[in-house]
C-alpha cells in the first residue's frame, strides 16, 4: 500500500516524538529548571503506547503470537490501550485483567478499544488466586491461541524505552540535561531510558519516584523487601519486585504522598496547561523535592531536570479532578 506524502502508514507510527516543555509556574522558587516530556500526548494517551508495538512485534517474531490470537494482560489500563491499538490493526483479540482500584474511565476506554475487561479485587496478595496477576495467568493458560503480554516480566517492555524513549530524550536534551525524574511501576520506563542515557553520559542522575506504601523506596535504601500497604495514586509503585525493573538503573528514589501527587497533578492542569494524571503529578512533586535536596550537587548553577508526563487526565476525571471524590477520601483541594 502506498502512503500519501505527509501521512503516516498507521497510528502506530504516530507513537513517540513527544515534545519536552519547560514548566513555568509550579517550579517557581525552586533552584532548578524543570521540564516535562509530554508522553501523555501519545495517540493512546500514555507512555505505555511505547511498549505495545515492541511487545507484539517481539511475540510475533518469536512465534508466541499467531494470526487470530488473543492477547492477555494484567494492566492498570494504559498498557492495555497501547496493546489494543496495535491489536486493532493486526486483528488480535484482547482480554485485559484489571484491579478494581483503577478508574471507571480506564475500564471503559479499554472496552471502547474492543477489549474484554475482567475486574479483580485490589487488596489481595499478588499470589492470591483472586489477584489480577493470578487471574491473568490462569486466563492465559485456559485460552487457546493466546499470548500473555506480561509487562512485569517481558524484556520487550524496558527494551522499547532503550531503543525509543531513551534516544529521543538524548536527542532532545543531550549534554544539557542533569537529571531525569520519573515515577515507576513495572520499572520498564526507568530501566530502559536509564540504560541508554547512562551509556551516553553516566553522570546524568536518574531518580525514581515512589508513592508511600509501595516497596521501591525502602528496597532501594535497605536492599530488603519491606511490607507494602495500599495507597490511592494509580499505576505507580508495586507490592512485589517485577522482573522488568533494574534497581541499579536509579541513582536515588524519592517518596511522595498521595496528597502530593494529586495536588501537583491538579496544579499541572491549572497552572501549566498540562492535562495529565496522578503519576505525572508524582514525577513533578518528586522532581521539586529532589531539586531542593540536591541543589548542592550542581555547584550553584540551576540544573536542568526532565520529568515524564505519563498519561492524560481524562482517565481520572471522576477522581483526582472531582472535588467531591477528593474530599470524601480525605484529601485537601
Closer to ligand PLP by Cβ: residue 27 or 78: 78
Provide the minimum distance between the beta carbon of 236 and ligand PLP in the complex, in angstroms, as a whole number. 5
Half-sphere exposure of 100 (CA within 13 A, CB side): 8
| Residue whose C-alpha is closest to residue 225's, from 245, 249, 195, 205 | 245
Collapsed DSSP state (helix, strand, coil) of residue 326: helix
Closer to ligand PLP by Cβ: residue 76 or 154: 76
Instruction: Let me know if 289 is a catalytic residue.
Output: no
Spatial distance between the Cα atoms of 273 and 327, rounded to a whole number of angstroms: 23
Closer to ligand PLP by Cβ: residue 104 or 176: 104
- The DSSP element (H or E) to which 283 belongs, if any, is helix 278-293
Provide the minimum distance between the beta carbon of 183 and ligand PLP in the complex, in angstroms, as a whole number. 5
CA distances from 158 to 18, 143, 298 (A): 18, 27, 29
Assigned C-alpha cell, 223:
536492599
Provide the minimum distance between the beta carbon of 277 and ligand PLP in the complex, in angstroms, as a whole number. 6
Spatial distance between the Cα atoms of 257 and 150, rounded to a whole number of angstroms: 28
Closer to ligand PLP by Cβ: residue 120 or 235: 235
Give the other-Cβ count within 10 Å of 147's Cβ: 21
In sign, the C-alpha dihedral spanning 311, 315, 321, 327 is: negative
Dihedral through CA 40, CA 262, CA 258, CA 260, nearest 10?
110
Provide the minimum distance between the beta carbon of 6 and ligand PLP in the complex, in angstroms, as a whole number. 31
Closer to ligand PLP by Cβ: residue 183 or 194: 183
Block residue for cell numbers 480525605: 330
- The DSSP element (H or E) to which 21 belongs, if any, is strand 20-22
Closer to ligand PLP by Cβ: residue 69 or 187: 187
Closer to ligand PLP by Cβ: residue 50 or 289: 50
Q: What share of the chain is helix, strand, coil (3-state, %, to 5)?
A: 45, 15, 40
Provide the minimum distance between the beta carbon of 138 and ligand PLP in the complex, in angstroms, as a whole number. 22
Collapsed DSSP state (helix, strand, coil) of residue 223: coil
Provide the minimum distance between the beta carbon of 81 and ligand PLP in the complex, in angstroms, as a whole number. 9
**Catalytic hit among 5, 28, 37, 48:** 48
Provide the minimum distance between the beta carbon of 310 and ligand PLP in the complex, in angstroms, as a whole number. 3
Beta-bridged to residue 117, according to DSSP, are 96
Residues that bind ligand PLP (CB under 6 A): 46, 48, 76, 78-79, 183-190, 235-236, 277, 279, 310-311
Dihedral through CA 286, CA 289, CA 292, CA 295, nearest 10?
-40
- Active centre residues (catalytic): 48
Amino acid at each position: 500500500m502506498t502512503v500519501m506524502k505527509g501521512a503516516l502508514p498507521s497510528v502506530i507510527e504516530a507513537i513517540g516524538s513527544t515534545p519536552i516543555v519547560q514548566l513555568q509556574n509550579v517550579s517557581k522558587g525552586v533552584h532548578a529548571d524543570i521540564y516535562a516530556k509530554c508522553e501523555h500526548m501519545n495517540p493512546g494517551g500514555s507512555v505505555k503506547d511505547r511498549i505495545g508495538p515492541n511487545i507484539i512485534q517481539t511475540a510475533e517474531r518469536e512465534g508466541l503470537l499467531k494470526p487470530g490470537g488473543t492477547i492477555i494482560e494484567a494492566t492498570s489500563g494504559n498498557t492495555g490501550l497501547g496493546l489494543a491499538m496495535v491489536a486493532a490493526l493486526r486483528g488480535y483479540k484482547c482480554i485485559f485483567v484489571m484491579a478494581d482500584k483503577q478508574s471507571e474511565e480506564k475500564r471503559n476506554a479499554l472496552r471502547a478499544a474492543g477489549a474484554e475487561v475482567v475486574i479483580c479485587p485490589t487488596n489481595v496478595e499478588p499470589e492470591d488466586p483472586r489477584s489480577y496477576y493470578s487471574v491473568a495467568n490462569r486466563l492465559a493458560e485456559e485460552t487457546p491461541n493466546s499470548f500473555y503480554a506480561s509487562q512485569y516480566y517481558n524484556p520487550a517492555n524496558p527494551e522499547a524505552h532503550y531503543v525509543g524513549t531513551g534516544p529521543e530524550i538524548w536527542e532532545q536534551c543531550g549534554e544539557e540535561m542533569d537529571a531525569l525524574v520519573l515515577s515507576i511501576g513495572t520499572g520498564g520506563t526507568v530501566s530502559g531510558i536509564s540504560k541508554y542515557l547512562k551509556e551516553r553520559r553516566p553522570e546524568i542522575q536518574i531518580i525514581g519516584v515512589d508513592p508511600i506504601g509501595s516497596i521501591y523506596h525502602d528496597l532501594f535504601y535497605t536492599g530488603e523487601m519491606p511490607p507494602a500497604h495500599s495507597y490511592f495514586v494509580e499505576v505507580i509503585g508495586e507490592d512485589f519486585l517485577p522482573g522488568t525493573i533494574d534497581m541499579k538503573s536509579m541513582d536515588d528514589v524519592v517518596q511522595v504522598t498521595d496528597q502530593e501527587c494529586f495536588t501537583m497533578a491538579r496544579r499541572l492542569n491549572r497552572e501549566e496547561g498540562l492535562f495529565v494524571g496522578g503519576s505525572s503529578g508524582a514525577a513533578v512533586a518528586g522532581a521539586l523535592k529532589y531539586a531542593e535536596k540536591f541543589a548542592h550537587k550542581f555547584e550553584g548553577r540551576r540544573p536542568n531536570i526532565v520529568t515524564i508526563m505519563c498519561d492524560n487526565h481524562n482517565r481520572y476525571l471522576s477522581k483526582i479532578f472531582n472535588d467531591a471524590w477528593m474530599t470524601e477520601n480525605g484529601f485537601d483541594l
